[in-house]
Amino acid sequence: MVNRPDKRLGVREGRSTMEEDSLAMNGGDGPNSYSQNCKYQVAFFPPHMFPGAASDQTKLLLMHSIEEKLMIPPANAAWQVFRIADLGCSVGPNTFTSMQTIIDTINLAYVNASLGSDQIPEFQVFFNDQTINDFNTPFRALPPNRPYMGAGVSGSFHGRLFPAASMNLMHSAFALPWLTKVPEEVKKVSSHAWNGGRIPYAGSSHRVAEAFAS
Ligand SMILES: C[S@@+](CC[C@H](N)C(=O)[O-])C[C@H]1O[C@@H](n2cnc3c(N)ncnc32)[C@H](O)[C@@H]1O
């Protein structure tokens, strides 16, 4: 496996023996690392979707989805372990915030259903990303008082990662529309779709958005 450090903020190109040519976020916690440059994802959702501080918007979306869909089983079929996966977790820290939000929301659902804390299951979180992801960084940074047991699962989520019917909740943020390559015209200064050296297309010209879509 060969990884080439990339000076672009938060992104690293690489080739893995298990996967096609792919991009992963820059590892570690240096100035160009994803962990120091992931605030864009936190502030992604436009204010009209959810009022409040930008950093609360993804959290609210996640909480609403769980409140709407979670069905706590009856006592005779209670969950002993509640298994969660974060598909495309990267190097953190957003993944930790999301996992904490999920577990807090589930705990609250038990309280709202007047169920005792002895009925709340144990939580297990599987942190998944591509094989070339820097898994050392998130595992070194796991929150000390986390309410779950964590494990890493490397490999593409386009393939099979877990045994059938073994998971309770699959989470994925900003990973499904992943491209294996930044469109060439976005990187060319002479192109109409030149993105000024940036990778995200939100806030860029429609030509940049079109280049990503094509
Ligand atoms: C923009 S980052 C988002 C990270 C994190 N979910 C967040 O919200 O900050 C996208 C991540 O998805 C991962 N990813 C993309 N395609 C993937 C795939 N097919 N299987 C596993 N991980 C993938 C990338 O390696 C990258 O770490």
pLDDT in tens, 73-118: 998 899 999 999 999 999 989 999 999 999 999 999 999 999 988 8
CATH number assigned to the domain with residue range 2-181, chosen from the 4 options 3.40.630.30, 3.50.30.10, 3.40.50.150, 3.40.50.740: 3.40.50.150
User: What mean pLDDT, rounded, does the chain reach?
Assistant: 83
pLDDT in tens, 6-64: 455 556 655 444 455 577 788 888 887 877 776 666 555 444 444 444 457 778 889 99
| Residues within 6 Å of ligand 1 by CB | 24-25, 38, 41, 87-90, 94-95, 128-130, 133, 156-158, 173-175, 178
* Structural contact between residues 111 and 64, judged by C-beta atoms closer than 8 angstroms: no
Sequence-distant (6+) residues with CB within 8 A of 208 are 186, 193, 194, 195, 201
Q: What percent of the chain has pLDDT over 70?
A: 82
In this structure, which residue's CA is closest to atom 20 in ligand 1?
156
| Candidate from 87, 90, 125, 136 with most ligand 1 atoms within 8 A of CB, to mutate | 90
Six-digit token string for 97: 């915030």
Domain coordinates in residue numbering, the chain: 2-181, 182-214
Going from the Cα of 136 to the center of ligand 1, the distance in angstroms, rounded, reads 15
In this structure, which residue's CA is closest to atom 9 in ligand 1?
94
| Candidate from 1, 25, 102, 181 with most ligand 1 atoms within 8 A of CB, to mutate | 25
φ/ψ of residue 189, rounded to 5 = -60, -35
10: left (phi > 0), else alpha (psi -120 to 50), else beta?
left
Q: Which atom of ligand 1 is nearest to the CA of 157?
A: 20
* Structural contact between residues 16 and 156, judged by C-beta atoms closer than 8 angstroms: no
Whether the complex's predicted ipTM surpasses the cut of 0.90: yes
φ/ψ of residue 152, rounded to 5 = -100, 140
